[in-house]
Amino acid sequence: MPAFERVRSGIPSLDKVLDNIRLGDNVVIQVTCLNDFKRIVHPFVNQSIEDKRNIIYIRFSNHEPLLEYMDGLKIYQLNANRGFEAFTVEVHNIIDKEGREAFYVFDSLSDLQVAWSTDLMMGNFFCVTCPYLFELDTVALFPVLRGHHDFATIARIQETTQLFIDVYSDEKDTFIHPIKVWNRYLPDMYMPYRLNDDNELESLTGSVDLADYYNLIHNEQKRHAEQNIDSYERFFREAREAYYRGEITDWTLNKITRSMMTRDHRMADLIRKEFSPEDYFHIKERMIGTGTIGGKACGMLLARKMVANYLPQYVKYLEPQDSYYIGTDIFYSYIVENKLWKLRILQRNDKYYFEKAEELKNAISNGKFSEPIRAQFRRMLNYFGQIPIIVRSSSFLEDGFGNAFAGKYESIFCVNACDPEERLLQFEDAVRRVYASTMDRSALEYRRQRGLDKMDEQMAILVQRVSGTKFDKYYMPCAAGVGFSYSVYRWSDEFSADAGLLRLVAGLGTKAVDRTGVDYPRLVNLDNPESTILTRSSDKHRFSQRRVDVIDLQKNEVRDIDVSELIPELPDWYVNLVCEHDYDTERMFYERGQRRNVLFVSCDGIVKKRELMKMMKDILSTLQEHYGNPVDVEYTINFRKDGAFTVNLLQCRPMAVWESAANREIPNIEKDKVLFKVNQTFMGNSAELNIDVVVWIDSKKYHGYPYNQKSSLCSVVSKINKYYEGKNKKLMLVSPGRIGTSSPELGVPVVFSDISNFKVLCEYADIEIGFVPELSYGSHMFQDIVETEMFYVAVMGTERSGTEVFNKEFFKNEPSVLGKIVPEAEAYEDIIKVYEFGVSKSLSLYADFKKRTAVCGVNS
């Protein structure tokens, strides 16, 4: 049938007034009560059944059903409480399944506002659903309740729909007034009409009849005088007023928690326990838009509140909290307003999950924000002025129990050393980059692996002032890092796993969470903070932080600077806090007749601040106690010349930890059948594991490969990873240096999605070349290893560092199957080997956690 074919509504006089409903029309009927909608929809459904139309009722609301089961009517029962995206996709799938020229009746749009808390999301649903219905030449009727939504939302709906009709009623009269009728016109089309008892429309031609109609309108307007305010804003204002009257209810507080904070039940329970109503009101005042503030923001606020509630003696050392929050609804509105919803739906399809991600990422990166949102961005930026800020992801699922999303989404620094308009442009670009990072392959792989690919993943934004100190042209924290309330990485039997561990660096904390460059953070076991596995100053220097991440205020950028270049720019009091002398190297120069100060960053002066270390230990243990789960935090520490300090808690999340594995008595394996035997330098759950496949990367061949082509090996590893997916094989990667570093000269720069199916990661040293593993407990890569229960081992290469055996010739006589599984990888066959084991010859990994020994070999 051709588009715009006339359709009978079941009310002949209404057909005459509207010049008929047409195929493709969405019909929104604004009513005061749903009985008025029923007067129109029942005749429409009966007529559609008589005309043998495919008529469907989409049922999702708690209100009384608009229609009952009858022959010829299909009913779909949906749950809007699953969230905007899940619900919208489900409706989209129904529309797709029912095909062209289907007829629909929807429950009240206003109940979507109840489910999703805001008018904005209800409007977004209509704005993405209506065009798809139009494309398929359907007819759809939607009721919306008058006075329940702000004018802006009703205006969006009116602009998007083809027909918009007002219905007013009182005890004696019902009036129908067409407001918008798209693509046709009759002289009396926009007049008000009375619907009589026979369901016939009578035009209001005289002042007496019009007076009844306008009196009814005026009474309705008085009842809904605040319709210029979003319904959620009205709810919040009423909640605040109820609180100050002493009448706020648990229902109200639960709704605030669910709608503004989190839908993670465990996090919500903690928040309800720790937060006061004033805390919620303060957060709301610093929100841009509506929706939730996301997992990262919730974790940060909850940690600070727990310190205030249980460790009040430390509150004076905490920096004030003045972050802003961009709600999740802004993310969806951005997708809708930039006409990207159809592409987003397509990307969610299993077939296009990865294929369309890059296209969607690019489209998100080039979208625009609406002027009302930009105005709110400006107000926020005026608050911060030229103080640097960081724009951080705070997604719906992020930093919850079981899903850390560590390093999966972007965090962008905005230096703000520029004029207000340039600050706005840079900020908008930062937000776009965070939004676009939802389509990064590593994030998509993470979600799919954890069964989250079909769930709502809305992106909120946490905007934080960069906690730091100005050193002339540089701005940075005196120190920063990550802390863990529970640590499986201990270098002495004296340490308790529950004492906590810090990764501590000078400058911005990025060096503490990324496996980049030649940097080693200071590891601080809070049982004995000054303890270190390194005793000689030359060893401490070798395994120290070589570069410092700073904000360069003159260049308006974040960059890293070599320690030797930065130290002369810093005041003595700060250098004394973070640097030590390499006395071994200074002595060597002295013996050559040269006097030279050789300094390196160790943060030793900070570690010796006993009050500070006790504070960090107490905070971590208290958070673990009240979370009921180990946690990790991100923090900064700033000092004054007189020694006064402040700590800022930037992030807190439940921490995935390896369960205590049962000890396995290691069998006596002949030395020539042992691949490696190490002490202490391993972590994981497994006490015994049979390994089916070993992927070996040769250190010398990799080292000799052209630098600008080293990263190409990652695609080969990724294809191996993909080949074995779903084959129930246990894979071990043996690779030189640091797996997952961003510096190819230090190791193979894979991302986690390249190795997601491996069960064992083995980093090995080649000191001659310069490949050195890093037991980087707490890095983003390490979080992934723990969450996916991989076993990690570092073969350091020397007996002093815990390696008893490492047989590089172990696979000498084994055939590699790389060419069979990745035929296009012929050029890499000298560098990458793939060895498969079976029943005739088995390779096993054994771990004795009590003796802290791990062995991998063939136990015949």
- Strand order of the β-sheet with 645-654 is 522-525, 501-505, 479-484, 631-639, 645-654
In which domain, by residue range, is 388 found? Answer: 287-466
503 shares its domain with 639? yes
Residue 279 lies in a domain: no
Residue 229 lies in a domain: no
In this prediction, residues 484-507 reach a mean pLDDT of 77
729 shares its domain with 620? no
Residue 280 lies in a domain: no
Q: Which has more confidence, 489 or 814? A: 814
In this prediction, residues 494-508 reach a mean pLDDT of 82
203 shares its domain with 142? yes
Examine the fold and report which residue of 466, 490, 513 is the final residue of a domain before the chain moves on: 466
Residue 255 lies in a domain: no
What gap in Å lies between CA 104 and CA 73, rounded to an integer? 10
Q: Backbone phi, then psi, for 160, in 5-degree steps? A: -85, -35
At residue 539, does pLDDT exceed 80? no
Q: Which has more confidence, 652 or 798? A: 652
pLDDT > 70 fraction of the chain, expressed in percent and rounded: 92
493 shares its domain with 418? no
Residue 294, domain CATH: 3.30.1490.20
721 within 8 A of 761, measured Cβ to Cβ: no
pLDDT at residue 219, rounded to an integer: 73
Least confident of 297-306, 343-352, 451-460: 451-460
In this prediction, residues 602-606 reach a mean pLDDT of 93
Q: Which has more confidence, 489 or 592? A: 592
Query: Could you please report the per-residue DSSP string of 107-122?
Result: --THHHHHHHS-HHHH
The three-point CA angle 492-495-497 to 5° equals: 120
758 shares its domain with 710? yes
Count the residues in the chain.
860
- pLDDT tens digits, 814-841: 899 999 999 998 889 999 999 998 766 7
In this prediction, residues 710-715 reach a mean pLDDT of 89
359 shares its domain with 489? no
768 shares its domain with 831? yes
Least confident of 163-177, 333-347, 535-549: 535-549
Tally of domains in the chain: 4
Residue 275 lies in a domain: no
Which residues are within 8 A (CB) of 267 and not within 5 positions of it... i.e. 6 or more apart? 261, 295, 298, 299, 302, 400, 401
532 shares its domain with 644? yes
Examine the fold and report which residue of 223, 254, 273 is the final residue of a domain before the chain moves on: 223
Residue 29, domain CATH: 3.40.50.300
- pLDDT tens digits, 243-288: 999 999 999 999 999 999 998 899 999 999 999 999 999 999 999 9
Residue 277 lies in a domain: no
120 shares its domain with 167? yes
Residue 243 lies in a domain: no
In this prediction, residues 660-666 reach a mean pLDDT of 66
pLDDT at residue 523, rounded to an integer: 85
477 shares its domain with 425? no
pLDDT at residue 256, rounded to an integer: 94
- pLDDT tens digits, 378-404: 999 999 999 999 999 998 777 777 666
| pLDDT-derived band at 683, boundaries 50, 70, 90 | confident
839 shares its domain with 761? yes
Residue 637, domain CATH: 3.30.470.20
| pLDDT-derived band at 1, boundaries 50, 70, 90 | very low
688 shares its domain with 551? no
Nearest to 647 by CA among 658, 661, 636: 636
Examine the fold and report which residue of 208, 223, 238 is the final residue of a domain before the chain moves on: 223
Residue 664 lies in a domain: no
